Amino acid sequence: MENSVLKEKLHQVIENGDERLLELLYEVVKDFDKQEIIFPGEPFSSSQLIQRIMLAKARVDKGEFISMKELEKESENW
């Protein structure tokens, strides 16, 4: 996908996103320039990344997430 098309799609996602999605996207990108992020396996293509973001947004919209407090409480048992 061309950069211009990808940028437009991301702008649309941001413009139409609710507060939860915007916070999620911000957390993903806020430190991107500060560090190299390494993931095991093959890197995501732009279209794969957009698809993952859209799927994550759908899960959030359905309420399929836990709050930070719930996560902190759960992590105490790890």
5-16 pLDDT, tens digit each: 889 988 898 898
For residues 78 and 39, the model is more confident at 78
Query: CA-to-CA distance for 73 and 12, rounded, in angstroms?
Result: 35
For residues 59 and 30, the model is more confident at 59
Query: CA-to-CA distance for 51 and 63, rounded, in angstroms?
Result: 19
- Contact by Cβ (8 Å): 65, 59: yes
Neighbours of 9 (CB within 10 A): 16
Chain-centroid distance of CA 13 in Å reads 11
What the block records as the tokens of 34 is 């500060």
pTM score: 0.41
